Structures are given as C-alpha cells and as structure tokens.
Structure 1
Amino acid sequence: MSSICKNPREAFATQIETHRNERRKTLIALVAHDLPHRLRADT
C-alpha cells in the first residue's frame, strides 16, 4: 500500500491522455536535443 502512496503517477499512467502527454514530452525533448547536433553535422 505504501508503494501506491509513493507513486500516484503510476495509478494515472493507465489514463490514455497522461500516457500521450508523457510520450509527447519525451519526443519533444529528444528532438530538441537532437536538432543542434544534426545542424552542426550538416554545416
């Protein structure tokens, strides 16, 4: 029971919207991190 209190996010992880937002954040972070490297390599 303590684990449920510690991780309230895991309970909401089943919701599609939350999962989608998490994925979107990760994708945006990856792209933002990747773009400068690609631009540098192309130049």
Structure 2
Amino acid sequence: ADQEISAYAYEKSLRLAERIKLLKDLKLGDKDLQLQVGH
C-alpha cells in the first residue's frame, strides 16, 4: 500500500513539474515574441 501511495505521489509531483516547466517555457516564448515584435 505504501508503495502505491508513493508511486501516486511521485507521478503527481512529476506532472506538476512538467506543468511548471511548460508554463515557464510559455512565458519565455511570450518574451521572445514580444522582443521580435519590438524589433
């Protein structure tokens, strides 16, 4: 049971990390777009 819980928690944290990375990438992409439009 403990292994199942830890596996579930690990998967949740992994998905959360992926989501955060995606958000960061999107924000960086927005900055790049703004810079390109500015020039």
TM-score between the two structures when normalised by the length of structure 2: 0.57
Q: Relative contact order, CA 8 A, sep 6+: which one is greater? A: 1
In structure 1, runs of 5+ residues without a counterpart are: 1-10
Structure-2 separation of matches of 1:24 and 1:15: 14
Q: Would you identify which runs of 4 or more consecutive aligned residues in structure 1 move more than 4 Å?
A: none
Task: Look up the SS of the partner of 1:15 in the other structure.
Answer: helix
Q: Pick from 9, 12, 30: which aligns with 1:17? A: 12
RMSD over equivalenced CA pairs, Å: 2.3
Question: Which one of 35, 40, 43 corresponds to residue 30 of structure 2?
Answer: 35
Aligned residues: 32
Give the whole-Å Cα distance in 1 for the aligned partners of 2:28 and 2:35.
12
The structure in which a higher percent of residues are helix is: 2
Structure 2 segments unaligned to the other structure (5+ residues): 1-5
